[in-house]
Amino acid sequence: MSSSRISEELRQALTRLAQEKNPDPSLIERIARWRRACGDAEAAAQWQIWSLLPPTSEELRPALASLLSGLGESHLAMQLLPNSDQRRSWERLAVLIERKQLKQAASLQRKLLTDPPDLAENDLINLLNQWLEAELYQEALSLLYPLLTSMQKRGETLSSRLCCTMADLLEKQQRFNEAESWWMQAHILQPQQVWPVMRLGYQALRQQKPTLAFHYARQTLKRSPHHAHAPELQRKALQAMSAERSLALLDGNEPPSLPPSQTCSPPPAECIDSCLKLALVALEDVSILQDWADQLDATTASQTRLYLISSHDPLWLEQQAHQLLPSTRIDLWPSWDGQRHGDVDLVLTACPADTIANTDARIWRYDAGTNSWNAP
């Protein structure tokens, strides 16, 4: 915000406060009304208190310097910061960056970080944004990383915003593997936020994990149905899986039929008795669910749940399962998760049985070589 966008009355109030030894309470009240009008409730409250209980010079001068710097009055802001405070002043750092004195700013930042004082999150974000506007991403990262480390050592819970900022800075330097854990932490802190989910999806695609990339794209679309980039990520993931039938459904076309050579023999009838929760892991032939569907009556069908896990043709498999089991709740998931899926009654899988952990379910493994089912 430039100084030309404030009234002459306000500009004069700021100038007088910067010059007077004994600040006029009416001028401070004027600043409080201005900050309130700008939606800065926290600052407005502080200035309102100061209009009743005059601040010390040590309190007032840095606050004025911050306001003046934001208005483009960098020279006056610098004058407000006492020499004894300049070496270790976050306000001075902001002013130096604002004035494009970037070498001096980087040097001051390094000194500040040797013994960093507390810095409010909004002030930290503002400093980071200044470095980003100057396209000095390493300086932004050099500021953020030690402060986050210090916060973690003090046992503070990091905000999703700070985790996202950290991850984004790492990605700007193509340090994608390091960024992944920060995106995940941001996602855990704020599960409905779509930005971390999408970035995790792109990372999964880079790591050649298309089933996981598809999952993240789908989760993004559940949160934001009109997301600009999630459909493209979903398509790329399906292409990486060679999921021809799912791609056909995505385009509104009739999917090709499943070749007879890819069909499985039905699982043993006794293994599906009394099963209400079933997990189908790494199997694409929905016909193996037919016996399960046939034994369900109207009452039990509404109580059933089917997990389709590690599918390489997920949209098609989900559609087929819905047609066969219209009353069953069906969930797609990219991999087996013992905490999420451990309460199933039966697992039908093409994976080694020891990869299905943390469950008391009956496990039957399909052997494609012999077209047969084996119980461990």
Position 357 pLDDT exceeds 80: yes
Q: Rounded mean pLDDT of 236-256?
A: 94
Candidate from 230-234, 310-314, 315-319, 368-372 with smallest mean pLDDT: 368-372
pLDDT tens profile 193-205? 999 999 999 999 9
- Rounded Cα distance between 180 and 198, Å, is 11
pLDDT tens profile 77-93? 666 665 444 334 677 88
- Rounded Cα distance between 204 and 212, Å, is 6
Identify whether residues 122 and 7 lie together within a single domain.
yes
- Rounded Cα distance between 205 and 200, Å, is 9
Identify whether residues 320 and 236 lie together within a single domain.
no
Residue 84 maps to a domain = yes
Residue 134 maps to a domain = no
Cβ atoms of 341 and 355 closer than 8 Å: no
* Model pLDDT, residue 1: 38
Identify whether residues 118 and 184 lie together within a single domain.
no
Identify whether residues 226 and 303 lie together within a single domain.
no
Identify whether residues 123 and 188 lie together within a single domain.
no
Average pLDDT of the chain?
Answer: 87
Residue 180 maps to a domain = yes
Per the structure, the count of domains in the chain is 3
Sign of CA dihedral 280, 292, 319, 225: negative
Picking from 98, 127, 156, the residue at the C-terminal end of a domain is: 127
Residue 138 maps to a domain = no
Q: How confident is the model at residue 376 (pLDDT cuts 50, 70, 90)?
A: low
3-state secondary structure 12-52: HHHHHHHHCCCCCHHHHHHHHHHHHHCCCHHHHHHHHHHHH
- pTM for the predicted model, two decimal places: 0.74
* Model pLDDT, residue 265: 86
Q: Rounded mean pLDDT of 163-184?
A: 96
Q: Rounded mean pLDDT of 8-15?
A: 82
- Kindly give, in sequence order, each residue whose CB lies less than 8 Å from that of residue 8, ignoring residues fewer than 6 positions away: none
Residue 247 maps to a domain = no
* Model pLDDT, residue 128: 92
- Kindly give, in sequence order, each residue whose CB lies less than 8 Å from that of residue 231, ignoring residues fewer than 6 positions away: 217, 221
**Which residue has better confidence, 262 or 94?**
94
Q: How confident is the model at residue 15 (pLDDT cuts 50, 70, 90)?
A: confident
- Rounded Cα distance between 80 and 115, Å, is 23
Picking from 209, 241, 273, the residue at the C-terminal end of a domain is: 241
- Rounded Cα distance between 40 and 35, Å, is 5
Identify whether residues 110 and 224 lie together within a single domain.
no
Residue 142 maps to a domain = no
Residue 141 maps to a domain = no
Identify whether residues 235 and 274 lie together within a single domain.
no
* Model pLDDT, residue 68: 76
Identify whether residues 100 and 9 lie together within a single domain.
yes
| CATH number, residue 234 | 1.25.40.10
pLDDT tens profile 140-170? 999 999 889 888 888 888 899 999 999 999 9
Residue 274 maps to a domain = yes
Identify whether residues 201 and 302 lie together within a single domain.
no
| CATH number, residue 285 | 3.40.50
Instruction: Supply the angle between the helices 57-70 and 41-52 in degrees, to the nearest 10.
Output: 140
Q: How confident is the model at residue 5 (pLDDT cuts 50, 70, 90)?
A: low
User: Residues 334-340: contacts with CB within 8 Å, 24+ apart?
Assistant: 334/209, 334/211, 334/212, 334/214, 334/215, 334/309, 334/310, 335/211, 335/212, 335/309, 335/310, 336/279, 336/281, 336/309, 336/310
Identify whether residues 15 and 71 lie together within a single domain.
yes
pLDDT tens profile 42-101? 888 888 888 888 888 777 877 887 787 777 666 666 666 654 443 346 778 888 888 888
Picking from 110, 127, 144, the residue at the C-terminal end of a domain is: 127
* Model pLDDT, residue 87: 36
* Model pLDDT, residue 180: 97
Domain range spanning residue 214?
Answer: 167-241
- Rounded Cα distance between 265 and 172, Å, is 50
- Rounded Cα distance between 108 and 92, Å, is 9
- Rounded Cα distance between 267 and 284, Å, is 14
Identify whether residues 34 and 105 lie together within a single domain.
yes
- Rounded Cα distance between 227 and 30, Å, is 43
Q: What does DSSP say about strands 362-367 and 372-374: parallel, antiparallel, or unpaired? A: antiparallel
Identify whether residues 285 and 191 lie together within a single domain.
no
